[in-house]
Amino acid sequence: MACPWMVGILVFHLLVQCCGNTGVLASSNVYIVYMGARQHDEPELVPESHHEILSGILGSEEAAKESILYSYKHGFSGFAAILNHSQAKFVADLPGVVRVIPNKIFSVQTTRSWDFLHVNSYIRNGILSKSHSGAGSIIGVIDSGIWPESESFKDDRMADAPTRWKGTCQGGEGFNASDCSRKIIGARWYIKGYEAEFGKLNTTEAAEFLSPRDAVGHGTHTSSTAAGSLVENASFSGLARGLARGGAPAAWLAVYKICWSTGGCSSADLLAAFDDAISDGVDVLSVSLGVSPPLPSYVDDTLAIGSFHAVAKGITVVCSGGNSGPYPQTVINTAPWIITVAASTIDRAFPTAITLGNNQTFVGQAFYTRGLRDRYYPIVYGEDIASTNSNEDSARNCENGSLNATLARGKVVLCFQSRSQSSAAVAISTVTAVKGVGLIFARFPSKDIMASSRIPCVQVDFTIGTSLLSYMEATRKPLIKITSSRTVIGKQISPEVAIFSSRGPSSLSPSVLKPDIAAPGVNILASWSPASSELDPPLNFNIESGTSMACPHISAIVALLKAIHPSWTPAMIKSSLVTTASTKDQYRQNIVAEGAPHKQADAFDYGGGHVDANRAADPGLVYDAEISDYVCLLCSLGYNSSAISTMTGKPTHCKESSNCLLNLNLPSIVIPNLKQQVTVSRIVTNVGPANSIYTARIEAPVGTYVRVKPSVLLFNSSTGKLKFRVIFNSLLRVQGRYSFGNLIWEDGSHQVRIPLVVRTVIDDFYAQT
């Protein structure tokens, strides 16, 4: 290995030859130069060697001393220095340098999802800075209401509602006009449809409020995720402690309560909320609701109808994609004018140690901070303590009523997930009912953790569960100790598509790719309604999982985009999200989808990929669409002209020969039935530099040959939109499965990528021989 002073001389001569004398630029960043194990027994000599290395690059030893922030000299060798990109790249090629790593900004442990998405104020020219944190945007949330006293909704430094705002603050039980503020500028509630189904809601018998006040917690959680103000030292019983904030903390909130703690959300109330929201003047609607398949047609789906009209008025509608994964064709809210969101994981974990009586320790995950003392308890296997009116299979899974109360009392119970009973919540309820003191729930590997306020529930995989069972079978009096959970950041690979996140293709319209995008939806900390908490003191923040949690992440990013690009249509905003999304995790490996087993994720798992908010602010090209395009699609799907005319308020005459089904200008191409050759057209709009040249790059789905005509797009001040065709040819003469690829337009600074999804079919596959 070269001596440090020799490296410095070598650097100087190389720079004179190829780079010239270079100083630290204003656009410099901090880089960590990692040089491996400690190289000196005398640490005080190490800084000098680092100065020598940089002096040749920066022109002087004094400049090197000013550049270096830290010299790492005790446990390992290296230094942190202010360098520009070219200097860092040069240093990376020097002998003795293992890696040059861009600096990451860490703070106290936070709600994490927004930092994980790099939506923070530390990024110069990032989406949060460009949008002024969403100031000027109004996010409407259709959900279970809001808890206005939460710190997440304080209105410090918020501006008054804009003059264009036409909404109101509707009072009721425990809620009056003064509960609205410069943060919550509107609040309404809807119950007529609900009461028509279930009768009058008696709030004396149920924890509920006939007002916008949230008794469930769900609406408070989604609202604060989208637009919550900054709250320091937030946590869930001490876990995930840090700075809580919404994605668009300067945006205004308008709340539309349609969901009730005693029975759900009426579609009649939903449409009334859409109606008011359109009139009130929201910019974005966040709707974490839906119905499971079979999906109603678009003209029979109130959410599709309400969102259609909202989009027609320029309001972007964001919806959750459903929690029925990992099974295919389960995605919901599949109308093409909606942004449908899948759920993904973040890099925060909650490891929880479990120690057996023989001192063997395993690690699962849990939200466990209270309850059991630091002591050993007996552990029993559910199958071994089946109740008299149950069987071993149901007791193994801890199904309701399956355990013997006498044998379970005071013990930790081990249960295994099965196809018929996969819910940790059911197992928690079962063990709690028989006075068990804890639960070990063995399940398919997943980062989604079920919270339990009554007993600790530690989730482990089947391998650990089997090891515990082996110990129990070999031990006369097996014991177990559960240690409090910890919060760990940056130690698990993410993002991954959550196991529960519903998957495509759409069962209603397979040619429309769904979901559109993935965003954090696993173990998300946000504000909560204390009225729904069983704890004393009640929870003000809670950790929840679901595509309901992923939805407001995208809603917030839409609000930021709207603040930057107020003239963009909902289709343009959707396109910017999809075409800039990432298919890689933070280690640049292909994103994985949780399942049984895990697999490489594809477009049916995450649509365009995992959201990259900063890139979405500058997509280069967008795929725009107008209401007339969606009308053409409805015609292609077989809806009659009369129904469509009623839906749009304009005369519509469907053409039988129309090919709108494939040619709808979406930022994706899905061909469910490719027989021989199919040609699809798209139009792109340039939203980058006026004079731009884009070249097409194809990653063809397996079994297909794909061409683009033209393969080069030239934009200038008078040409802002261009049309191209994509020709697909099947290379297979078999009944195939879906395969996946990409079409990327590149101009040197932008990569505009859309997913290509193709399934080959043959005409005579089902013919009798």
Other CB atoms within 10 A of residue 393 CB? 15
Query: Could you give the 3-state DSSP secondary structure of residue 444?
Result: coil
Other CB atoms within 10 A of residue 125 CB? 9
- Return d(Cα 626, Cα 665) in angstroms, integer: 9
Question: Tell me, what DSSP letter sits at residue 690?
Answer: S
Is residue 83 within a helix (H) or strand (E), and if so which, with residue range?
A: strand 78-83
Q: What is the CA radius of gyration of the chain?
A: 29
- The reply to whether 548 belongs to the active site is yes
Written as one letter, the residue type at 646 is T
Q: Are strands 496-497 and 592-593 parallel, antiparallel or unpaired?
A: parallel
- Return d(Cα 315, Cα 433) in angstroms, integer: 47
- Return d(Cα 330, Cα 507) in angstroms, integer: 7
Inter-CA distances, 402 with 393, 394, 426, 451, 519, Å: 9, 6, 11, 22, 38
Q: State whether the Cα torsion 552-558-561-565 is positive or negative.
A: negative
For residue 344, count CB atoms less than 10 angstroms from its CB and return exposed for 0-12, middle for 13-18, buried for 19 or more: buried
Written as one letter, the residue type at 644 is I
- The reply to whether 283 belongs to the active site is no
- Provide DSSP, 219-271: HHHHHHHHHPPPEEEEEETTEEEEEE--SSTTSEEEEEE-EETTTEE-HHHHH
Are 95 and 1 spatial neighbours (Cβ–Cβ below 8 Å)? yes
Q: Which of 77, 131, 143, 527 is catalytic?
A: 143
- Return d(Cα 763, Cα 246) in angstroms, integer: 52
Burial 676-700 (b: 16+ CB within 10 A, else e): eebebebbbbbbbeeebebebebeb
Place of tokens 């097409």: 696
DSSP alpha helix (H) spans, 100-216 = 113-116, 127-130, 192-198
Would you state the structure tokens that stand for residue 744, as one six-digit string? 């990327």
- Return d(Cα 257, Cα 144) in angstroms, integer: 5
Nearest to 644 by CA among 414, 336, 305: 305
Q: Which of 67, 286, 511, 548 is catalytic?
A: 548
Written as one letter, the residue type at 418 is S
Is residue 541 within a helix (H) or strand (E), and if so which, with residue range?
A: strand 541-544
Q: Which residues participate in catalysis according to the annotation?
A: 143, 218, 548
